Amino acid sequence: MDNRRQFLARGIGLAALGLASGTALADSATLRSFHQALARNPMLSLYAGAEGDQSGDAVLHGSLPDDLRGVFYRNGPGRFELGGERYHHWFDGDGFAQRWQIGGGKVSHRGRFVATQKFAEECAAGQFLYPAFGTHIGRKAARNNDTVNAANTNLLPLNGRVYALWEGGSAVEVDPATLETRGIKTWRDDMKAMPFSAHPKMDPDGGLWNFGNLPGSDRLVIYRLNAAGELTRTAMINVPQLNMVHDFVVSGRHLIFLVPPYDMRPGDDLSLRESLQWNGERPLRAVVVAKDTLQLRQVFELPGRSVFHLGNAFEDGACTRLDCVMHEGDMLPRLALPMHGEAIPYSAGSSSTVQITLDYAAGQAREARLFGVGEFPRVAPQVVSARHRKLAVLGASAGAEHILNTVNLIDTDSGKADSYRFDAGWQVEEHVLVPRRGAGTGARSETDGYLVGVAQDARRGQTVLTVFDAHNIKAGPRALARLPYRAPLCFHGNFLPA
């Protein structure tokens, strides 16, 4: 309990920012500039948000596999405007949970806002009240991080329950069928209001690992849950200058975190994003925690870059190897551009997908390029924390749009990619590998199944579920399930087999 109190007291979370009385920088000028740009560029409709709940059946094109049955849960920001004001950053929007039901030759969709305390109070007030990640608002004081919990980043099915996850607060439980919000999930009484990140990693035994961090706390919280969703182990690790860490990977013996070089300079009139100051003179650090002791084992240094998402990690003799997407410089300002009416520039050289080797004996990290501009790396669920040879990642083809419009399955041994490019006017979201029923556990099992995701057809204003055969991505989707409407762009999700 004392550790928890010290952690929350030391951290500079969203609840501690933007609370100068009467101030608000979500503004009408941002709203006007966005809608003026939207009239010229239909791709910006992806960042317009949703008006309310959604429900409908998709029109199926192609052949839906008979053995692909289950629910594809997704989550992302869905509300950016309220009371004539618009948020300043994509990460600020209120969570909009989505559920794709797949099976029997049919696909249906449901989308619903996560009714957090923040969402409910701001709906009633008709205006934004609380600080958000990238927008300084201080109309109402926040009690703790869960007061400002946007629940907008991932949707996690676990032991018959489903949780909407966010970066800096508790998991929020929603109904698996209706997506109705059930409320804050406290894993244990002494862990109330502690951050539970949006990127948990499943363990082969059916449980999961996760972490939590508050900027300014310099402490990393580790969680271990069993398959029944019970918290079985926790630890709190001191990591200096731990101001941002978004994702991590789990290998057979380690938990590995990549910490980009942000300094923390809070101010009374700054949002959390503005308080995170890029310091390119400092390195990117790979922080390695031993699974057996939950203690810091080693820290490696790499050239300073931004990193959000990691793929997988595995032990290779006396080394650990892991995949991630590296961005040159500070990526956070670029992810704010759509709120103001500009596209995110995924241009050549702005990022690369790499595999890092951590050599414990030499104390050095080596890096090998796997792929060019990309994001949202994922591996097949049966190889998480073990040796993998296939990595799914989105890409951006050369052209004027510079948006994520390709789906790729990379061979991590050869570097060759099996790829498909969508037409102009399309943007792809994260895709996940879904094993075929009865798929084995060998190297071939990673392509014995399907690559399932979502794509946005902005020109037709429709959101589309996509299904690829994992062994032949270049052949294009074997099935497209088109909704008669546009659903909000999502960040992350997980497939739950029936």
Strands of the 161-165 sheet, one edge to the other = 154-158, 161-165, 171-174, 181-185
**Over its length of 498 residues, how does the chain's per-residue pLDDT go in tens digits?**
466 666 666 555 655 655 554 455 667 889 999 999 999 999 999 999 999 999 999 999 999 999 999 999 999 999 999 999 999 999 999 999 999 999 999 999 999 999 999 999 999 999 999 999 999 998 998 888 999 999 999 999 999 999 999 989 999 999 999 999 999 999 999 999 999 999 999 988 888 999 999 888 899 999 999 999 999 999 999 999 999 999 999 999 999 999 999 999 888 788 999 999 999 999 999 999 999 999 999 999 999 999 999 999 999 999 999 999 999 999 999 999 999 999 888 877 789 999 999 999 999 999 999 999 999 999 999 999 999 999 999 999 866 567 899 999 999 999 999 999 999 999 999 999 999 987 766 557 899 999 999 999 999 999 999 999 999 999 999 999 999 999 999 999 999 999
Separation between Cα atoms, residue 127 and residue 139, nearest integer Å: 9
CB 428 within 8 A of CB 464: no
Give Cα 365 distance to the centre of its chain: 25
Phi/psi at 445 (5° precision): -65, -25
At 440 the pLDDT is 67
pTM for this one?
0.95
At 442 the pLDDT is 59
Separation between Cα atoms, residue 166 and residue 58, nearest integer Å: 28
Please name the amino acid found at residue 445: S
Separation between Cα atoms, residue 90 and residue 92, nearest integer Å: 5
Domains of the chain: 2-497 (2.130.10.10)
CA distances from 34 to 27, 76, 200 (A): 11, 19, 34
Q: Which residues contact 358 (CB under 8 A, 6 or more apart)?
A: 256, 286, 288, 298, 300, 319, 320, 321, 322, 365
CB 385 within 8 A of CB 364: no
The full 3-state SS of the chain, as one line of letters, equals CHHHHHHHHHCCCHHHCCCCCCCECCEHHHHHHHHHHHHHCHHHHHHCCCCCCEEEECEEEECCCCCCCEEEEEEEEEECEECCEECCCHHHCEEEEEEEEEECCEEEEEEEECCCHHHHHHHHHCCCCCCCCCCCECCCCCCCHHHHCCCCCEEEEECCEEEEECCCCCEEEECCCCCCEEEEECCCHHHCCCCCCCCCEECCCCCEEEEECCCCCCEEEEEEECCCCCEEEEEEEECCCCCCCCCEEECCCEEEEEECCEEECCCCCCCHHHHEEECCCCCEEEEEEECCCCCEEEEEEECCCEEEEEEEEEEECCEEEEEEEEECCCCCCHHHHHHHCCCCCCCCCCEEEEEEEEECCCCEEEEEEEECCEEEEECCHHHCCCCCCEEEEEECCCCCCCCCCEEEEEECCCCCEEEEECCCCEEEEEEEEEECCCCCCCHHHHHCEEEEEEEEECCCCEEEEEEEECCCHHHCCCEEEECCCCCCCCCEEEEEEC
At 7 the pLDDT is 64
Neighbours of 228 (CB within 10 A): 11
Separation between Cα atoms, residue 150 and residue 140, nearest integer Å: 16
Separation between Cα atoms, residue 6 and residue 138, nearest integer Å: 25
Paired residues of 450 in beta bridges: 434, 469
Q: Which residues contact 407 (CB under 8 A, 6 or more apart)?
A: 392, 394, 395, 419, 420, 422, 428, 431, 451, 453, 466, 468, 473
Give Cα 455 distance to the centre of its chain: 16
